[in-house]
C-alpha cells in the first residue's frame, strides 16, 4: 500500500545539505519502498529532505511522447511548487530525472523559460547527489553478496550518470559489484515502449535477463522503476527470479544490517 510521506525529514547529525524530493507517480504506486529508502539513506548522511505536498507528475512521459502542451501543464505545477532555497531537487526515478533536467528545452520560448532553466540546473539523480556529497559508509553486509548493476537508459545515456551509483554500491563492505554483458543495451522498458512495442520490448527484456544471469549475481540494483519491473518480469519468465532493488534500497538495507539476497 502507498504510505504518505512526511513533509520533511530531518538530517541525522550535523546537516550537510538540504534538498527537495520528487516522489514520482508510477514509482510511488508500484514501489513506495524506494522513496522511503532514499529518505532513510539521505537522513543518515546528514541531508534534510523536503517533500512538497503540492507536487505532481513531472510530465516526462508526455514530453518523451511529443505531447508538449500536456507535459508543460504538468511541469508548471512543479515549477511553482518546489522550493527555490534548496541545494538540489532530487529524484529516485531516472525517467523523471531525464525529463526534468530538460525543462529548459521543454519551456524554450515560453514565459517560464528562465524559471525552467534554473530549475533544470538544480535537478539531480539521488545517486549523483549523494556520490558528490560523499557517502558515510554503512556497516558490512551480514553475508557477502554479488550484486549486478543495471544502467537504466534514462540514467546512463540520457543523464550521463553511471559512475555515481557504482561508487555508492562499491562502498558497501561485503558487496561485490559485477558488470552485466552488453550493459549499455536497453532492457525494453523505455518509458511506454514496452506497451507500444511489446514484441521488441520482450525480446530486449529476455536478452537483458539472460545477460544478468550470466554474471552469477545474487541480486540486481538499478535506478529506475520501469527497468526494475521489466527485468523482474523476464527473470520470472525464465524461472530464475532474483531480488531486484533500487540502488538506495540496497544502501538502506546495508545501514539496517539486512540482507540483500
For 105-119, write each residue's pLDDT tens digit: 999 999 999 999 999
Query: Taking 90 as the threshold, does the pLDDT of residue 99 lie above it?
Result: yes
3-state helix, strand, coil split of the chain in percent (to 5) is 45, 15, 40
Report the distance separating Cα 38 and Cα 252, nearest Å: 7
Asked if residues 174 and 145 have their Cβ atoms less than 8 Å apart, the reply is yes
% residues pLDDT > 70 (the chain): 97
More confident residue, 184 or 197: 184
Selection from 261, 92, 62, 118 nearest residue 178 by Cα: 261
Q: What is the mean pLDDT of residues 116-125?
A: 98
* Average pLDDT rounded to a whole number, residues 226-244: 96
Compute the average pLDDT of residues 33-43. Answer: 97
Are 224 and 127 within 8 A, CB to CB?
Answer: no
pLDDT digits (tens, 9 = 90+) for 157-180: 999 999 999 999 999 999 999 999
Q: What is the pLDDT of residues 7-30, one digit of tens each?
A: 999 999 999 999 999 998 877 777
The pTM of the full predicted model, rounded to 2 decimals, is 0.95
Strands ordered across the beta sheet of 47-50: 8-9, 47-50, 17-22, 88-91, 123-125
Amino acid at each position: 500500500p502507498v504510505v504518505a510521506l512526511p513533509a520533511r525529514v530531518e538530517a541525522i547529525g550535523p546537516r550537510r545539505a538540504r534538498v527537495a524530493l520528487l516522489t514520482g507517480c508510477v514509482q510511488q504506486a508500484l514501489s513506495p519502498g524506494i522513496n522511503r529508502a532514499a529518505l532513510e539513506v539521505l537522513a543518515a548522511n546528514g541531508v534534510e529532505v523536503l517533500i512538497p505536498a503540492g507536487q505532481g507528475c513531472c510530465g516526462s512521459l508526455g514530453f518523451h511522447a511529443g505531447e508538449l502542451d500536456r507535459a508543460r501543464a504538468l511541469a508548471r505545477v512543479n515549477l511553482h511548487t518546489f522550493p527555490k532555497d534548496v541545494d538540489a531537487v532530487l529524484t529516485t526515478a531516472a525517467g523523471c530525472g531525464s525529463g526534468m533536467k530538460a525543462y529548459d528545452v521543454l519551456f524554450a520560448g515560453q514565459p517560464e523559460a528562465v524559471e525552467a532553466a534554473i530549475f533544470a540546473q538544480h535537478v539531480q539523480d539521488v545517486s549523483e547527489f549523494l556520490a558528490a556529497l560523499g557517502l558515510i559508509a554503512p556497516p558490512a553486509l551480514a553475508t557477502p553478496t554479488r550484486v549486478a548493476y543495471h544502467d537504466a537508459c534514462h540514467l546512463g545515456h540520457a543523464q550521463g550518470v553511471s559512475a555515481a551509483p557504482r561508487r555508492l554500491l562499491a562502498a558497501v563492505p561485503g558487496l561485490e559489484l559485477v558488470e552485466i554483458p552488453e550493459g549499455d543495451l536497453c532492457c525494453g522498458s523505455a518509458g511506454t515502449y514496452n506497451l507500444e512495442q511489446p514484441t521488441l520490448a520482450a525480446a530486449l527484456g529476455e536478452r537483458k535477463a539472460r545477460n544478468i544471469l550470466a554474471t552469477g549475481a545474487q541480486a540486481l540494483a538499478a535506478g529506475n522503476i520501469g527497468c526494475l519491473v521489466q527485468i523482474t518480469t523476464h527473470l520470472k519468465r525464465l524461472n530464475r527470479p532474483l531480488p531486484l532493488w533500487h540502488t538506495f534500497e540496497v544502501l538502506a538495507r546495508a545501514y539496517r544490517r539486512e540482507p540483500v539476497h
